[in-house]
Structure 1
């Protein structure tokens, strides 16, 4: 790759970044995709609720997407980590871990988020396999199975209501003293939701497929699936360093056109929304690509 100056640099080359790259490549834009190869769903065996790709392995979807994007000769790829970003009058300067420096007029962050896995033995091994974050992505595959939710308070109450759509064989593990209101507790019990307040020690599993939740008092409960929403942080700190606003939820704040509050910087995919799915990542990336191209046209025409 000889080019060092681009119309757009996309940081993050998973579903959202690749979708934006295709949109921009088809708009004849010189594009660089910088990707370090760590998608958040890399452990998930199958992707669902994405039309034409339902049940496919996530890595297969992204590999096929990259092959298709590579057909657009104005789109270039750099395998590495973006470590520094500077906003200049003419655009942006992006430095990588290896010392390479690239410039562009616009930057799109499609960098996703990093889940902060709790220190429960077995949690990390099961995450994305049988410990799940989204019923729309994985609920059908564990419908009517014995299922647990790990959460507390208002989040737990809302999560239990949601998951009860897929299974009535449901328990709630608050992993410590419940902070549910008395009314919430009564409603959950009325709907057959068992509540466990004991702290969790570990998960018994077979190659990531949960079998039992082991509590610190050594009691256990058998389950086939668990839903959890661990805290997360931005996978990339560069947007914050550039002055991009972060929401109370820890997401990059964007408007309906995928603009951040910093001119020339856009964001799409999981780093911008709590609705984390391949389909939504693709949608926002494709839209962001079209928005960026239109903005470039408006500046040049």
Structure 2
């Protein structure tokens, strides 16, 4: 069976992928968006800090975005998962989980990341609801609340400094020996931030809303919100398959035009940025789409 061919394949159909698709659709580029329909913020009830969409659910925002992108007749959607990729003579070849082969001149990776949530009772159920990752995305809704921060070292101090502006009741939970410099300990003390070094046995909640943390020593402490600084991994193996370079933190390394080190491959959204927000995903996707179009123009004009 001959491969279906496109000018651009976008892997990932959430905020950054749809933004890239819109930019390309407006330039009449033949685009395929491959999307498995599994966004990382699937259970987050509300999205914030994005003009015109503040307070809407992620599903609402994506549904409206897709409806608008579908208006551009040169854009096609494929529901499924891209599992393999390789560089071929005139571009790239993508293989899907259904065994289909698709090719394109250029490739945009809007594949996102996967949070590695600790396997502790209650964590998964609360993630994105009251166990949160970003003060800018969720902090305002928990202003003035008793707040825990599950992190250690530099990360804990960074988050604490941001959260302290939103509430005076902050506790850092290190889940083991604290890894702080004397200067950092003094800063935490000056800001009346307690440190708990005990391990966590359970996050007690009601329908994802945190009530308290039960520690490994049996102590139970009430909290109304908890920040979690957890590791992540790339959601897709395709960037690695293609030979993309990564930053020391694990993001795809891109330049200001969203180009990776592989000619013809661009990255956008959470997979290539520390700024994890809807607005940043939309912005980087828009840049990636415009820059891919410019490369296609240069190739043939």
TM-score by length of 1: 0.98
Task: Find the aligned partners of 1:117 and 1:278 in 2 and give their Cα distance.
Answer: 21
Name the counterpart of 1:181.
Answer: 181
Name 1:226's counterpart in structure 2: 226
Q: After TM superposition, which residue ranges in structure 1, 4 or more long, deviate above 3 angstroms?
A: none
Residue of structure 2 equivalent to 1:166: 166
CA shift, 1:3, in A, is 8.7
Partners of 1:155 and 1:59 in 2: CA distance: 30
Q: Which residue of 1 aligns with 2:289?
A: 289
Question: What is the root-mean-square deviation of aligned Cα atoms in Å?
Answer: 1.1
1:141-181 Cα distance to aligned partner (Å, 9 max, x none): 00010001011112212221121111111111111111122
After TM superposition, give the deviation of residue 269 of structure 1 in Å: 0.3
Q: Distance in 2 between matches of 1:3 and 1:289?
A: 23
User: In the alignment, is the contact (CA less than 8 A) between 2:3 and 2:101 conserved in 1?
Assistant: no
5+ long unaligned stretches in structure 2: none
Q: Deviation per CA, 1:182-213: give whole Å up to 9, x if none.
A: 33223212211111111111100000000001
Q: Structure 1, residues 71-93: CA drift from partner, whole Å, max 9, x if none?
A: 11100000000011110120111
In the alignment, what sits opposite 2:209?
Answer: 209
What is the aligned partner in structure 2 of residue 251 from structure 1? Answer: 251
Q: Deviations over 1:13-64 (max 9, x none)?
A: 0000001001100000000000111111001000000000000000010011
Q: Does residue 19 of structure 2 align to residue 16 of structure 1?
A: no
Map of 1:250-289 to 2, 5 A cutoff? 250-289=250-289
Please name the residue that 2:133 is paired with.
133
Measure, in 2, the Cα distance between the counterparts of 1:155 and 1:229: 7
Q: Report what 1:239 is aligned to.
A: 239
1:241-292 per-residue CA deviation (whole Å, 9 max, x = no partner) reads 1110011100000000000000000010000011110111001001110100
**Whole-Å Cα distance in 1 between the matches of residues 7 and 101 of structure 2?**
15
- Show structure 1 runs of 5+ residues with no match: none
Give the whole-Å Cα distance in 1 for the aligned partners of 2:33 and 2:3.
Answer: 12
Contact in 1 for aligned 2:95/2:101 (Cα 8 Å): yes
Does the residue aligned with 1:266 lie in a helix, a strand or coil? strand
C-alpha separation between the residues in 1 aligned to 2:175 and 2:19?
39
| Cα distance in 1, alignment partners of residues 87 and 179 from structure 2 | 45
